[in-house]
Structure 1
Amino acid sequence: MATNIKRSSFDQFGYVHGPLKWAIALTASLGAILEVIDTSIVNVALTDMQASLGATVSEVGWVVTGYAIANVVLIPLSAWLGDYFGRKTYFIFSLIGFTIASVLCGLAFNLPMLVLSRILQGLCGGGLLAKAQAILFETFPPAEQGLAQAVFGVGVIAGPAIGPTLGGFLVDGLGWRWIFFVNIPFGIVAVAMSFMFLPKDKDKSETQSQSVDWFGIGFLIIAIGCLQTLLEEGEKEDWFSSGFITTLAIASTIGLGLFIWRELKTNHPAVDLRVLRHRSLAAGSVLSAVVGMGLYGTLFAVPIFAQSVLHFTATQTGLLLAPGALASAIVMVLLGKLSSKIDARFLIAMGAVGSSGVMFQLAAITPQTGTDDLFWPLVWRGAFTVLMFLPLSLAVLGPLPKQDVSAGSGFYNLTRQLGGSIGIALLTTLLDRRQTFHRAILLAKLSPYDPETNQRLDLLNGALQSQGMDAATAQQQALALLSQTVDTQAAVLSYADCFRVVGIGFLCSLPLLLFLGKGGAGAKAPVSH
């Protein structure tokens, strides 16, 4: 059983060998997959939740916002919590808490209970993602990190696409509560596997500091919590024209300054910022934010385009994203075997250029775009994203000393999550502003003196009157249809602008590769002490 794993399972450097290491990899990855899927699975159920709980659109949005805020606050604290309570103890506690919170979400009888349960779920989930990746880096030797991170990466990359697919089926077939109840059996299995396979925690005297950095934790909650709330609510509040958003920005800036000052001053920080002395982690975290923007940003834009412009159902939208998720999983496994032989910077560059090309291809959408037109671009998007994600993890965290991996993983995963939030916030604002811009341009071209406009109205009038509509009503309906056509065209043009911006962002991130190491291709065995 888990608590009595023999020391013969470990080599001289503390890495696990034999079948046990793959059992540990599956255990850690299952926890991470649960967390990642729940980040996106809720999005397709918000309308049903709103109707069921009698909430407004703004109120039900806190089901997503509450989870996101709690999640990003806990990610950077996961290293300290793992050291303080024990890596295995903390991971199992997070799994149990996540599963219980899922039950509470499914049983919620009003919106406040659902939001509070989602916050609890986010707090527990934040400990799963970064800790799972750190466990893999601490379990597998450098030469085998590619395959280990591929197992982990399948869930992290495919999860955001699997979430809406699974959510669509559950919501349409069983109701929104089942997007939470479905976590229960998987959570129980993950807890059982953790008890059986994760190595026993070290004695607390070896890892636990005697003091708790309460000030650092408080400043972190203020800084990251206010920033995430600002990103989630900024577009709804019209950004800095709102006193609420301005206050959040000021509080986040002050909190961040105090947090950095506190963590660099204290001997036992809640978040060890000194790990940023490693150049690969500092540069890689910035690049991780860019990857997060592209990964979560496009996975946000494509479903909204499919549902608002193409009028897809939740299930149809999920099926649209499924082939890309499958492509990610296949490429992740194949790349896991090759990543130790190829310079990570080359693979990341291929991924960035390829992803950029896909974005420019998606920018060619029209009102007539359908499933067939989106199939291959989304498949290639799934494949190229893996070329950025897996080698980047190896290049950023691979060179770190083993004792710094846990803190480095927390910071690295935080930047990707925040990058996703920033990307979604920017794209949401860009969509709104560009749609207004394009609509104004299109309307300026429509004039009662324009022959083409009059010809279009005459055709619509004739078609409506041929269906038995009187002349006055037909005229009004023709104008309404023309206005709807303008709105649709403006929306399509605004989505195209968003895809171009993401593509340009990928290309602009390429110079950061100069600060990274070779990753798997340059991995070396650690020096024994």
Structure 2
Amino acid sequence: MATNIKSSNFNQAGYVQGPLKWAIAFSASLGAILEVIDTSIVNVALTSMQASLGATVSEIGWVVTGYAIANVVLIPLSAWLGDYFGKKNYFIFSLIGFTIASVICGLSVNLPMLIVSRIAQGLFGGGLLAKAQAILFETFPPAEQGLAQAVFGVGVISGPAIGPTLGGYLTDALGWRWIFFINIPFGILAVVMSSMFLPQDKGKSEAKNQAVDWLGIGLLVVAIGCMQTFLEEGEQEDWFSSGFITTLAIASILGLVLFIWRELKTPHPAVDLRVLHHRSLAAGSFLSAIVGMGLYGALFAVPIFAQSILHFTATQTGLLLAPGALASAIVMVMLGKLSTKVDARILIAIGGVGTAMVMFDLSKLTSQTGADDLFWPLVWRGAFTVLMFLPLSLATLGSLPKKDISSGSGFYNLTRQLGGSIGIAILTTLLDKREAFHRAMLLSHLSPYSPETNQRLDLLTAAMQNQGMDATTAHQQALALLSQTVDIQAAVLSFADIFRVVGVAFLCSLPLLLFLGKGGAGAKAPVH
């Protein structure tokens, strides 16, 4: 089943014209949205999965880790796979594989089956995100890139917030298996739409006549796979005190060096690193990694604060993030036309400073903070995020020649994903270290010789005795409550620290804008 796509649907520059281009945009973006949502939808269901499958905390974590590793390994290979099999064929194949893997995830009867199917889901999903963005850049002319990337960006930006919301509701109402089954109707719809509307590649693929760079692929798997595992498992294994983590770090560095050497030497690389000679791509990808660290790191910290400090349920936490996701979607649509008329660097700077201010505002949270106190900071975070994401994509990829779009998009999306993983790893470690520091500092002020401490302890003991406890039990319970109060306050202070760190990181990244072009405001039609 396919739409009869005639030559009249293309203009002289090779871009699609008429309603067909929007059908292509929605088809490609739907696949990307499915992939992005599935990176976070399982997080709120891990406890239910653990109980259902009889897994430990560390074992169930591989449901997330396996998907992330497979995802980042495939992203840089998506350009070569698209050239080898055809962009349309590969995109549809990835959609079908992702949907089937989702079914198997939902039907899993044990943990190994779930982990293997999640890895398969990640492998197929890795071909959707970068490929969807490349398809849009190849479909729309420069003057319309803002609107096209806005359609794509709504899902990519909102997905990490929609995932926990949807996952929490489905887990509480229907059970954890439905966070995978929900992909079936949307996956089928995306396959049908892509079959109907995506144009077939013109001409015969030259990649099929070239030798497959198996060595490059193998080195990429070692380098990126070990790096992602290092980032996912490092905190749990106490980083370099673990031989396993140390081995992963060495293997990742060695694999990366050999991979770069191989790809620059071979005439037909699996990942074309030569596209980095475009200054906008090199600078934009580096900035994308930093933006990914801050964005995904901040988004990771808020749900943990809500659940561990404010004791929100999974559904309540999801609903807390929903207004921010809605704000992102609204601003993304509004920015669609404006982004091609305004210097991208100005918009990114406004987004970076605004996000930093929001982070500094979040650092003032206390244990008494409620949902109302978080509403506007999270709404503003969602709005300012878009001011960085959309213009940065246009400034990085908008001026690339069409032949380099696929490779450039794959590298750009990889740096954002890895930046997010690095950010989460750093912030998780920092959260743990700062909590221990603050607890030690707070305990240093609690002394049996302190009148304030003794007064507080006497009040708590008296309250326990009023509930019918004997003096000894009441005193022990009072000590436990005092210790719990210290733990909560130490956790709150540590969250404040990491929000400030994210804010400072955004401000420190702003000088990188000097290496970017004007993006949509100064973009020229790419060379064919």
Q: What range describes the TM-score normalised by the shorter chain of this pair?
A: over 0.9
- 1:88 is aligned to 88
Query: How far 1:298 sits from its partner (Å)?
Result: 1.0
Instruction: Tell me which residue corresponds to 2:224.
Output: 224
Partner of 2:406: 406
Question: Does 1:391 pair with 2:420?
Answer: no
Look up the equivalent residue of 1:115 and give its one-letter code: I
Structure 2: runs of 5+ lacking an equivalent? none
1:179-194 to 2 correspondences below 5 Å: 179-194=179-194
Structure 1 residue 201 displacement after superposition: 2.3
Amino acid at match of 2:319: L
Q: Does 1:306 align with 2:306?
A: yes
Task: State the match for 1:361 in structure 2.
Answer: 361
Cα distance in 2, alignment partners of residues 79 and 239 from structure 1: 33
Q: Which amino acid in 2 is paired with 1:306?
A: A
Question: 1:398-452: CA deviations, max 9, x gaps?
Answer: 0111110100000000000000000110011001000000000000000011111
Letter in structure 2 aligned against 1:267: P
2:444 alignment partner, SS class: helix
Q: Is the Cα–Cα contact under 8 Å of residues 48 and 176 in structure 1 kept in the other structure?
A: yes
Partners of 1:137 and 1:193 lie apart in 2 by 18
SS, match of residue 342 in structure 1 = coil
CA distance in 1: counterparts of 2:27 and 2:293, whole angstroms? 28
After TM superposition, the structure 1 = structure 2 runs for residues 350-499 of structure 1, keeping only pairs within 5 Å, are 350-499=350-499
Q: Residue type of the partner of 1:201?
A: D
The answer to whether the 8 A contact 1:351-1:388 is kept is: yes
TM superposition shift of 1:202 = 2.8
Residue 391 of structure 1: SS of its match in structure 2?
helix
Alpha-carbon contact 1:395-1:518 (below 8 Å) kept:
yes
1:524 matched to 2:519? The reply is: no
Describe how 1:35-114 pairs up with structure 2 within 5 A: 35-114=35-114
C-alpha displacement at 1:465, in angstroms? 1.0
1:287 aligned partner: 287
Check whether the contact 1:49–1:176 (CA below 8 A) recurs between aligned residues. Answer: yes
Kept in 2: contact 1:143–1:524 (CA 8 A): no
State whether structure 2 residue 48 is matched by structure 1 residue 27: no
TM-score, normalising length from structure 2?
A: 0.99
Cα displacement string for residues 450-504 of structure 1 (whole angstroms, at most 9, x for unaligned residues): 1111111111111111111111111000000000000000000000001001001
- Are 2:141 and 1:141 aligned? yes
The reply on whether 1:167 has 2:164 as its aligned counterpart is no
Length-normalised TM-score, structure 1: 0.99
Residue 524 of structure 1 deviates from its aligned partner by: 2.1
User: What is the SS of the residue equivalent to 2:42?
Assistant: helix
Alignment of 1:148-163 (within 5 A): 148-163=148-163
State the distance in 1 between where 2:522 and 2:277 align: 20
Q: CA deviation at 1:75?
A: 0.2
Contact 1:2/1:199 (8 A) holds in 2:
no
Q: Quick one: structure 1 residues 184 and 429, their matched pair in 2 at CA, closer, same or farther if it must change by over 3 Å?
A: same
TM-superposition CA deviations, 1:357-389 (whole Å, max 9, x none): 000000001111111111100000000000000
Instruction: Deviation per CA, 1:72-93: give whole Å up to 9, x if none.
Output: 0000000000000000000000
CA contact (8 A) 2:399 2:525 kept: no
What does the per-residue CA deviation read over 1:249-302, in whole Å, with 9 as the maximum and x for residues that have no partner? Answer: 010011001100000001100000000000111111111011111111111110
> Unaligned stretches of 5+ in structure 1?
none
Distance in 1, Cα, partners of 2:31 & 2:150: 15
* Partner Cα distance (1:228, 1:61) in 2: 13
Instruction: In structure 2, give the amino acid aligned to 1:501.
Output: V
User: Contact 1:461–1:474 (CA<8 Å) still a contact in 2?
Assistant: yes
3-state SS in 1 of match to 2:41: helix
Shift of 1:337: 1.4
Quick one: distance in 1 between partners of 2:526 and 2:508? 34
Aligned to 1:18: 18
What displacement does 1:525 show? 2.8
2:4 and 2:394 map into 1 onto residues whose CA distance is 31
User: CA contact under 8 A between 1:363 and 1:500: conserved in structure 2?
Assistant: yes
Deviation at 1:204, TM superposition (A): 2.9
Q: In structure 1, what residue type is equivalent to 2:37?
A: I
Instruction: Check whether the contact 1:2–1:200 (CA below 8 A) recurs between aligned residues.
Output: no
The structural deviation recorded for 1:526 is 4.1
In structure 2, how many angstroms separate the alpha carbons of the residues matched to 1:385 and 1:46? 27
State the distance in 1 between where 2:3 and 2:322 align.
39
Shift of 1:54: 0.2
After superposition, what is the alpha-carbon deviation per residue over 1:309-365, rounded to whole angstroms, capped at 9, x for unaligned? Answer: 100000000000000000000000000011111000000000000000000000001
Query: Retained in 2: the 8 A contact 1:70–1:123?
Result: yes
Counterparts of 2:205 and 2:157, CA distance in 1: 37
Distance 2:238 2:225 in 1: 19
- 8 Å CA contact 1:89, 1:201 repeated in 2: no
What are the superposed Cα offsets for residues 96-135 of structure 1, whole Å, 9 maximum, x if unpaired? Answer: 0000000000000000000000000000000000000000
2:399–2:526 contact (8 Å) kept in structure 1 = no
Write out aligned runs for 1:177-326 (5 A): 177-206=177-206, 208-326=208-326
1:347 aligned residue:
347
Task: Please say if residues 84 and 205 of structure 2, whose CA atoms lie closer than 8 Å, have aligned partners that are also in contact.
Answer: no
Query: Which of 195-204 and 227-236 deviates more?
Result: 195-204
**Is contact 2:43–2:64 with CA below 8 Å preserved after alignment?**
yes
Residues 217-265 of structure 1: CA deviation (Å, up to 9, x unaligned): 0000000000000000000000001000000001001100110000000
Aligned residue-pair number: 528
Identity %: 84
Match of 2:224, as an amino acid? I
